[in-house]
């Protein structure tokens, strides 16, 4: 999916409300990511890696698993 404008250049984006991380390169649920951006309830990670998201307690969203 194409990343929303506010998330350009990011791959992993966390949903603070449910502690799930979306992989924007493999996400199949654009509606969930749009709702996340509209609510401004997202977290980005530095470095932009799944391991960093997991270190912060986020689990992969089911719509983004390969």
- How high is the pLDDT of residue 64? 84
Contacts of 64 (CB under 8 A, 6+ apart): 21, 22, 23, 26, 27, 28, 29
The angle formed by the CA atoms of residues 6, 8 and 13, to the nearest 5 degrees, is 75
Q: Can you give the pLDDT at residue 3?
A: 81
As given in the structure block, the two tokens for residue 5 are 């404008």
- Token pair of 13 as six digits: 């984006």
Torsion of CA 47, 66, 38, 42, to 10 degrees: -30
Q: What is the pLDDT of residue 21?
A: 97
Domain parsing of the chain, residue ranges: 5-64
pLDDT means over runs of 10, the chain (66 residues): 86 96 93 93 97 98 83
44 token code pair: 């980005």
């Amino acid at each position: 999916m194409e990343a929303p404008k506010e998330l350009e250049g990011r791959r992993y984006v966390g949903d603070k409300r449910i502690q799930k991380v979306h992989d924007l390169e493999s996400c199949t649920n654009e509606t969930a990511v749009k709702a996340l951006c509209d609510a401004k309830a997202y977290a980005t990670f530095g470095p932009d890696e799944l391991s960093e998201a997991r270190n912060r307690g986020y689990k992969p969203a089911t719509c983004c698993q390969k």
